[in-house]
Amino acid sequence: MEEIKPSMEDWKALYESAIEFKKLGCWDWMYDSDVFGIQNPSNDEIGYCCVMGNLGEFFGLAVYKGIDGFKTYIRVRNGELEPGDPEIIVAQKCLMASYEDREDLTDKDRKIIKDLGLKFRGHNEWPLFRTHDPGYFPWYLNKEQVQYLTLVIQQSMDIASKFKEDKKFLGPRKDNKVPVWIPKKVDSDWVWENKLMNVEIPKGLEYTYAELNADFVDQVKSAIKKRINPWEVDFVISPATVSKKMGERPYYPYMIFVVDAKSGLILHTGFSDLWNHSDDLIDAFTDTIQKLEAFPSEIFVKSQEVYELLKVAAKQLGIKITPKERLPAIESMMSLLMERLF
């Protein structure tokens, strides 16, 4: 289904709101830990908002979409994810309004600004709006997102101004309680109801595992007796994006590797994506066994996700699987690949 593009009136309202938000400068008295929620009237999803800029480096407003989006925010706040961590690429789920340099904008961004008759100059002065969705490159907003982000920015200014006068305005910051503003349309105006809501964040991460078909296991174990060097098995999120079609939103591919841990020989390499990488990694693992007609004496893995995915299959095949802090053979290969690409 093709998304509806924002009208120039939609963009005008968003840019005007962003300009006023920048003038307010609420990052001078708010931290990114001062979280509040604003419900999206089009789908009732809550956007969990935080103001960024108190450190004087990056200025903006992030709106984390739903519980999944808020969970990523919590993981960053708790130090589980570091800024720049590749996992953020596949976990981030938010709308972002930020203030950048001119060269950070695309021709499409600058055309909208020009068509609106707006002018910006200087460092961290150019409004930039993007949606961040798991697995995808940050992208332009559709009509519904522009309208919602406009509403969020406008209400955030009111919330920030009241918080400046009363640091207790957002309520107690404990027991997973977050103040949420719920909009209701009365005639042509929005009327806001404020509730202190309990937000239940699922603890830990959910991992999948693969159980091989019993007939396949019996067939492979009866046909293959040879044991060879240990393997390093992993997937790596590529920093370079790809698109299936010209003009489509790019996504971050997963690179899947099976490598001989002693010789560094690449036994299998392939590409996948966020939505299929688990199945593709299992296929790579079993295909390599069949192709070489041999089992590895041991499997070395780095990430918890790969360990959980392979542990049942490895046990079925009688292969020891060992978590490692590093996978030297894959790291060396990735270092060479990055040098060639960048």
Q: Give the three-class secondary structure for 290.
A: helix
Q: Are 296 and 321 in contact (CB under 8 A)?
A: no
Tens-level pLDDT at each residue, the chain (342 residues): 568 999 999 999 999 999 999 999 999 999 999 999 999 999 999 999 999 999 999 999 999 999 999 998 988 888 888 777 778 878 899 999 999 999 999 999 999 999 999 999 999 999 999 999 999 999 999 999 999 999 999 999 999 999 999 999 998 777 778 999 999 888 888 899 999 998 887 776 778 899 999 999 999 999 999 999 999 999 999 888 999 888 889 999 999 999 999 999 999 999 999 999 999 999 999 999 999 999 999 999 999 999 999 999 999 999 999 999 999 999 998 888 877 766
Q: Which two tokens stand for residue 252?
A: 């971050």
pLDDT of residue 341: 67
98-137 pLDDT, tens digit per residue, is: 999 999 999 999 999 999 999 999 999 999 999 999 999 9
Q: Which of 92, 110, 105 is nearest to 251 (CA)?
A: 92
- How far is Cα 129 from Cα 145, in angstroms, rounded to an integer? 10
Predicted local distance difference test score (pLDDT) of residue 335 = 87
Distances (CA, A) of 214 to 83, 93, 211, 313, 316: 43, 38, 9, 10, 9
The pLDDT, as a whole number, for residue 60 is: 97
Q: For position 221, what pLDDT does the model report?
A: 94
- pTM: predicted TM-score of the whole model, two decimal places: 0.90
Residue 111, pLDDT score: 97
Q: d(Cα 313, Cα 328) in Å, to the nearest integer?
A: 24
Q: For residue 287, count CB atoms less than 10 angstroms from its CB and return exposed for 0-12, middle for 13-18, buried for 19 or more.
A: middle
